Structure 1
Amino acid sequence: MHKMKLIQSLFLCSLAHFHWTLHVTSEDTPTFGSKNIPRLLSQDVIKGRFVYPIHQNHTVLIYHEDSGEIYVGGTDFVFKLDLDRYQIAQEIHLPATEEEQCQEGPCENIITVIEKFGDTLFVCGSNGQRPHCWRLVSSSAAVVKHQDGTGISPFTYTQNSLSLRVEGDLYAAAPLDTDGSSLQFRRKAGRRANVWMYDSWVSEPTFVSASWVKRKEDPENEKIYIFFREKNSDQNPEADPWISRVARVCKTDEGGSKRFFQNTWTSFLKARLVCGFPEESLYFNRLQDIYVQHAEDWRDTRVYALFTSSWNATAVCIYSMETIEGIFNNSTFKGYDKAIPEPRPGTCVRNSRLLPLATVSVVRDHPEMSDWVHSVHYVNPFYVSNENYTKIVVDRVQAADQSVYSVLLLATDSGKIHKILESGLEPFIISQTQIPSQSSLQSMKLDSKKKKLVVSFAEEISVMDLRSCYEYNKSCGDCVLARDPYCSWTPSGCTPTVLEGIQNIIDGKTSVCSASTSEHNQVNRSRRNAASSLDKDLLTLHTVPMGVPFYLSCPIDSYHAVYMWKHKDQSSPCLQMHSNCLLLIPAMNHESYGTYECVSEERDYVKVVKGYHLTEQRGPRRNAERGKASAVAAQTLWITLGLGLIPFLN
Structure 2
Amino acid sequence: MMTLSAPLLALLWLVQVVCSAFPEEPGPLSSIPTEVVRKYPVFLGRPHRSSLRQEPLHIQRILQVNRTLYIGARDDLFRVELDNVVGDEMFYSKKRTWESNKNDISICRMKGKHENECRNYIKVLLSRQGGLFICGTNAFNPLCANYTGDTLEMVGETVSGMARCPYDPKHANVALFAEGNLFTATVTDFLAIDAVIYRSLGDSPALRTIKHDSKWFREPYFVNAVEWGPHIYFFFREMAMEFNYLEKVVVSRVARVCKSDMGGSQRVLEKQWTSFLKARLNCSIPGDSHFYFNLLHSTSPILHLHGRDIILAVFSTPSNSIPGSAVCAFDMEQLASVFDGRFKEQKSPESIWTPVADELIPKPRPGGCAVQGSKFNSSNSFPDEMLNFVKTHPLMDEAIPSLGQRPWIVRTMVRYQLNKMVVDTNAGPHGNRTVLFLGSSRGTILKFLVVPNQDNTAPNNNVFLEELEGYNPEKCGQDTPQARQLLSLTLDSNSHTLLLAFPSCVVRIPVARCQLYSRCMKNCISSRDPYCGWTRGSTCSFLRAGTRLPFEQDVDHGNTSYLGDCDGKLTLGSPFLASPPIPKTHRTGFCLGYPASGSS
- TM-score, normalised by the number of residues in structure 1: 0.69
Contact 1:58 1:442 in 2 (8 A): no
One-letter identity of the residue aligned with 2:216: W
Partner of 1:174: 186
C-alpha distance in 2, partners of 1:367/1:407?
36
Residue type of the alignment partner of 1:357: D
Cα distance, 1:328 vs. partner? Answer: 1.4
- Counterpart of 1:60, as a letter, is Q
Q: Secondary structure at the match of 1:346?
A: coil
Partner of 2:294: 285
Q: Shift of residue 320 of structure 1?
A: 1.2
Match of 2:552 among 502, 511, 520: 502
* Equivalent residue, structure 1, for 2:280: 272
Q: Indicate the residue corresponding to 2:7 in structure 1.
A: none
Aligned to 1:85: 84
Q: Which has the higher helix share?
A: 1
**Mapping 1:593-604, distance limit 5 Å:** none
Distance 1:55 1:191, change over 3 A: farther
Partner of 1:202: 217
Q: How does 1:368-387 map to 2 (within 5 A)?
A: 368-380=395-407, 382-385=409-412, 386=414, 387=416
Equivalent position SS for 2:40:
strand
Deviation at 1:209, TM superposition (A): 1.2
Q: Is 1:342 matched with 2:355?
A: no
- In the alignment, structure 1 residue 49 sits paired with structure 2 residue 39: no
Aligned mate of 2:521, from 467, 476, 481: 476
Higher relative CO (Cα under 8 Å, sequence separation at least 6) belongs to: 1
Report the Cα distance in structure 2 between the residues aligned to 1:454 and 1:293, rounded to whole angstroms.
Answer: 20
Contact kept in structure 2, 1:332 and 1:370, CA below 8 Å = yes
| Residue identity opposite 1:388 in structure 2 | Q
Q: In structure 2, do the counterparts of structure 1 residues 156 and 353 end up closer, same or farther at CA, with 3 Å as the change threshold?
A: same
The one-letter amino acid paired with 1:342 is: K
* 2:508 aligned residue: 463
Deviation of 1:417 after TM superposition, in Å, equals 0.8
Residue 449, structure 1, aligned to residue 493, structure 2: yes
Equivalents in 2 of 1:298, 1:228: separation in Å? 26
Which residue of structure 2 lines up, in the alignment, with residue 112 of structure 1? 123
What is the aligned partner in structure 2 of residue 537 from structure 1? none
Question: Of residues 419, 438, 443 in structure 2, which corresponds to 1:410?
Answer: 438
Over 3 Å counting, the alpha-carbon distance change for 1:269 and 1:512 in structure 2 is farther
Counterparts of 1:461 and 1:281, CA distance in 2 = 39
1:413-432 equivalences under 5 Å are 413-424=441-452, 425=459, 426-432=461-467
Q: Say if 1:235 and 1:248 are closer, same or farther in 2 by CA, change over 3 A.
A: closer
Contact preservation (8 Å) 1:245, 1:271: yes
- How much does 1:85 deviate? 1.8
Specify whether residues 346 and 472 from structure 1 end up closer, same or farther in structure 2 by C-alpha distance, changes over 3 A only.
farther
Which residue, out of 230, 250, 267, partners 1:259?
267
| Structure 1 residues 57 and 413: CA distance shift in structure 2, 3 A | farther
8 Å CA contact 1:333–1:368 kept in 2: the answer is yes
Please give the alpha-carbon distance, in whole angstroms, between the structure 2 residues aligned to 1:88 and 1:343: 55
Q: For residues 518 and 208 of structure 1, what CA distance do their matches in structure 2 show?
A: 52
**SS of 1:295's equivalent?**
strand
Superposed CA RMSD in Å reads 3.0
Deviation at residue 307 of structure 1 after TM alignment: 2.6
Aligned counterparts of 1:517 and 1:449: Cα–Cα separation in 2: 30
| Residue aligning to 2:170 | 158
Query: CA offset at residue 379 of structure 1?
Result: 4.0
Residue 211 (str. 1) matches residue 226 (str. 2): yes
Cα gap change, 1:236/1:328 in structure 2, threshold over 3 Å: closer, same or farther? closer
Kindly indicate whether the alpha-carbon contact (under 8 Å) linking 2:172 and 2:222 is maintained by their aligned counterparts in 1: yes
Report the TM-score, using the length of structure 2 for normalisation: 0.74
- In structure 2, relative to structure 1, the CA distance for the partners of 1:410 and 1:101 (3 Å cut) is closer
Matched residue type, 2:222: F
**Do the aligned residues in 1 keep the contact of 2:294 with 2:315 (CA within 8 Å)?**
no
Letter in 2 for 1:85: N
Which residue of 1 is the match for residue 340 of structure 2? 329
Deviation per residue, 1:23-52 (Å, 9 max, x gap) = xxxxxxxxxxx9611111224245311114
CA contact (8 A) 2:57 2:505 kept: no
Contact 1:306 1:391 in 2 (8 A): no
The residue that corresponds to 1:359 in the other structure is 386
The answer on whether the counterparts of 1:162 and 1:207 sit within 8 Å (CA) in structure 2 is yes
Percent pairwise identity: 26
8 Å contact kept, 2:531–2:542: yes
State the shift of 1:358 in Å: 3.4
Q: Counterpart of 1:358 in 2: which secondary structure? A: helix
Q: Distance in 1 between matches of 2:559 and 2:57?
A: 47
Is residue 38 from structure 1 mapped to residue 97 from structure 2 by the alignment?
no
Per-residue deviation, 1:422: 1.0
Match of 2:484 in 1: 440
Structure 2 gap segments, 5+ residues each: 1-23, 46-52, 86-90, 346-354, 373-377, 453-458, 474-478, 564-572, 591-600
Structure 2 CA distance for partners of 1:361 and 1:69, relative to 1, 3 Å: farther
- Judge which range, 382-391 or 129-138, deviates more: 382-391
Partner secondary structure for residue 525 of structure 2: helix
Change (3 A) 1:278 1:361: farther
- Report how far residue 97 of structure 1 moved: 5.4
Deviation at 1:480, TM superposition (A): 2.2
Shift in Å, 1:179? 1.3
* SS in structure 1 of the partner of residue 551 of structure 2: coil
Structure 1 equivalent of residue 72 of structure 2: 73
Paired residues for 1:536-575 under 5 Å:
none
Q: How does 1:183-262 map to 2 (within 5 A)?
A: 183-198=195-210, 199=213, 200-213=215-228, 215=229, 222-233=230-241, 241-262=249-270
Can you list the C-alpha shifts for 1:177-209, whole angstroms capped at 9, x where unaligned?
211110121113334321111233111111111
Change in CA separation of 1:235 and 1:326 when aligned onto 2, cut-off 3 Å: closer
Q: Please give the alpha-carbon distance, in whole angstroms, between the structure 1 residues aligned to 2:578 and 2:30.
A: 22
CA distance in 1, matches of 2:102, 2:307: 45
Change in Cα spacing, 1:37 to 1:489, as seen in structure 2 (3 Å) is same
Contact kept in structure 2, 1:183 and 1:205, CA below 8 Å: yes
CA–CA separation in structure 2 for the residues paired with 1:166 and 1:237: 39
| Counterpart in the other structure of 1:562 | none
Tell me what 2:536 maps to.
Answer: 491
1-structure distance, mates of 2:180, 2:307: 21
Q: CA deviation at 1:331?
A: 4.1
Deviation at 1:306, TM superposition (A): 2.7
Structure 1 runs not aligned, ≥5 long: 1-33, 216-221, 528-602, 605-650
Does the CA-based 8 Å contact 1:125-1:131 persist in structure 2? yes
- Aligned-pair CA distance for 1:270: 0.9
CA distance in 2, matches of 1:82, 1:356: 54
Greater shift, 268-277 or 45-54, is seen at 45-54
Partner of 1:516: 575
Q: Residue type of the partner of 1:337? A: A
- 1:138 positional shift: 2.0
Aligned 8 A contact 2:173 2:186 in 1: yes
1:345 & 1:519 partners in 2: Cα distance? 71
Distance apart, 1:238 and its partner CA: 8.3
SS for the counterpart of 2:390 is: helix
Deviation at residue 142 of structure 1 after TM alignment: 2.2
Amino acid corresponding to residue 83 of structure 2 in structure 1: D
User: What is the CA–CA distance in structure 1 between the aligned matches of 2:316 and 2:176, rounded to whole Å?
Assistant: 22
Change (3 A) 1:254 1:162: same
1:246–1:271 CA contact under 8 A, matched in 2: yes
Counterparts of 1:403 and 1:511, CA distance in 2: 27
CA distance in 1, matches of 2:137, 2:72: 12
Q: Distance in 2 between matches of 1:56 and 1:134?
A: 24
Instruction: Report if aligned partners of 1:408, 1:422 keep a CA contact under 8 Å in 2.
Output: yes
- Cα offset, 1:464, TM superposition: 0.9
SS state at 1:477 partner: helix
Q: How far did 1:157 drift?
A: 0.6
Residue number in structure 2 paired with 1:395: 424
The amino acid of 1:91's aligned partner reads: K
| Cross-structure match for 1:133 | 144
Per-residue deviation, residues 121-146 of structure 1 (Å, max 9, x unmatched): 11111111111111122222222221
Query: CA–CA distance in 1 between the matches of 2:520 and 2:192?
Result: 57
